[in-house]
């Protein structure tokens, strides 16, 4: 009986905090993250949670403001990137729940297929450590390069062991990659920057990351906050049939793929 009363008290306390209007500040890049968050805003409001979606175009900043406590969570990154940031900056961020994958793809406005790349072609890749490694792994999977044995997600251009076409790599801020397409022979672009630029991985990509990608986009929070009722409510709202249907309808060409 005591356990039952204790559980009821906890539940009522959580409900009361929501009823009083719990504010949940979540940072996100514009698409698809902020768009998906806004889809569940009313669902959370019905639970007494005021979801405030704060947009950032530079995803590097999102972890800084999360660690500093300026926001309660962010939705823009995958686990390897979060772990890299934790290690590099001594942050304390954790995964509260996985939502979707945005497949990386190699795009070009100059060639129509992989076999059309000429010697010494220039390929633009993201310049942040985790996504640079991800891009190089994609190029290896495409058969354009080979990395040193044992090289993983932290690969850099120094780890390229075989480069038959003598490809040149241009390391660019991820947000700027779509704009570089006219100036390079190809570019490996993050999904959240490809989509606003009108690029579809399945339709426009010369080579697309497989569906088994480990780069699941997550709700990230500071360690210890992942069990907060409002965070769990957010994750539950995002891992819903409503969101799944929205993603499948809005991104029918596989630009965004649900993982729940």
Question: Mean pLDDT of all residues in the chain?
Answer: 90
The pairing of beta strand 168-172 with beta strand 257-258: unpaired
Res 14 pLDDT > 70: no
Residue that has been written with the tokens 């209007």 in this structure: 21
Predicted local confidence at residue 12, as pLDDT: 36
Predicted local confidence at residue 15, as pLDDT: 41
Predicted local confidence at residue 212, as pLDDT: 59
Rounded Cα distance between 203 and 188, Å, is 15
* pLDDT classification of 129: cutoffs 50, 70, 90: confident
CB atoms within 10 A of CB 9: 10
- Residues 151, 86, 135, 164, CA torsion sign: negative
Rounded Cα distance between 28 and 36, Å, is 10
Predicted local confidence at residue 18, as pLDDT: 53
Rounded Cα distance between 231 and 150, Å, is 37
pTM for this prediction: 0.75
Question: CA-CA distances (angstroms) from residue 75 to 2, 94, 99, 197?
Answer: 39, 12, 9, 20
Residue that has been written with the tokens 């790599």 in this structure: 169
Token duo for residue 260? 């729940």
E strands within the chain?
22-28, 49-55, 73-78, 93-101, 105-107, 122-126, 146-147, 160-162, 168-172, 186-189, 207-208, 216-222, 257-258
Residue 128: exposure state from Cβ atoms within 10 A (0-12, 13-18, ≥19): middle
Average pLDDT over residues 98-126: 96
Flag the least confident range among 64-68, 120-124, 188-192, 230-234: 188-192
pLDDT tens string 195-219: 899 998 889 999 998 755 778 999 9
Tell me how far apart the terminal alpha carbons of the chain are, to the nearest angstrom. 36
pLDDT tens string 29-76: 999 999 999 999 999 999 999 999 999 988 889 999 999 999 999 999
Backbone angles phi, psi at 215, to 5 degrees: -90, 65
Predicted local confidence at residue 211, as pLDDT: 56
Helix (H, G, I), strand (E, B) or coil at 45: helix
Res 13 pLDDT > 90: no
- Indicate left, alpha or beta for 150 from its phi (over 0: left) and psi (-120 to 50: alpha): left
Average pLDDT over residues 150-178: 94
* pLDDT classification of 20: cutoffs 50, 70, 90: low
Scored b (16 or more CB within 10 A) or e, 225-240 reads: bbebbbbebbbebbbe
Predicted local confidence at residue 220, as pLDDT: 98
More confident residue, 182 or 253: 182
């Amino acid at each position: 009986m005591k356990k039952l009363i204790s559980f009821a008290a906890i539940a009522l306390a959580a409900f009361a905090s929501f009823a009083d209007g719990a504010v949940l500040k979540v940072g996100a890049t514009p698409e698809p993250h902020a768009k998906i968050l806004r889809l569940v805003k009313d669902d959370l409001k019905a639970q007494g949670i005021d979801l405030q979606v704060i947009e950032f175009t530079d995803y590097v900043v999102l972890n800084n403001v999360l660690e500093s406590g300026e926001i309660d969570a962010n939705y823009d990154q995958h686990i390897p990137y979060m772990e890299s940031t934790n290690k590099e900056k001594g942050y304390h961020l954790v995964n509260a729940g996985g939502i979707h994958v945005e497949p990386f793809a190699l795009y070009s406005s100059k060639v129509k297929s992989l076999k059309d790349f000429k010697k010494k072609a220039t390929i633009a890749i993201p310049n942040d450590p985790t996504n640079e490694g991800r891009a190089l792994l994609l190029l290896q999977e495409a058969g354009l390069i080979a990395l040193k044995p044992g090289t993983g997600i932290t690969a850099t251009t120094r780890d390229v062991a075989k480069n038959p076409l003598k490809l040149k790599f241009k390391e660019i801020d991820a947000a700027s990659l779509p704009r570089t397409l006219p100036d390079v022979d190809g570019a490996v672009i993050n999904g959240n920057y490809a989509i606003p630029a009108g690029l579809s991985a399945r339709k426009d990509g010369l080579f697309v990351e497989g569906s088994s990608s480990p780069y699941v986009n997550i709700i990230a929070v500071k360690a210890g906050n992942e069990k907060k009722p409002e965070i769990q409510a957010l994750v539950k709202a995002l891992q819903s049939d409503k969101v799944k249907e929205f993603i499948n309808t809005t991104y029918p060409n596989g630009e965004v793929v649900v993982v729940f």
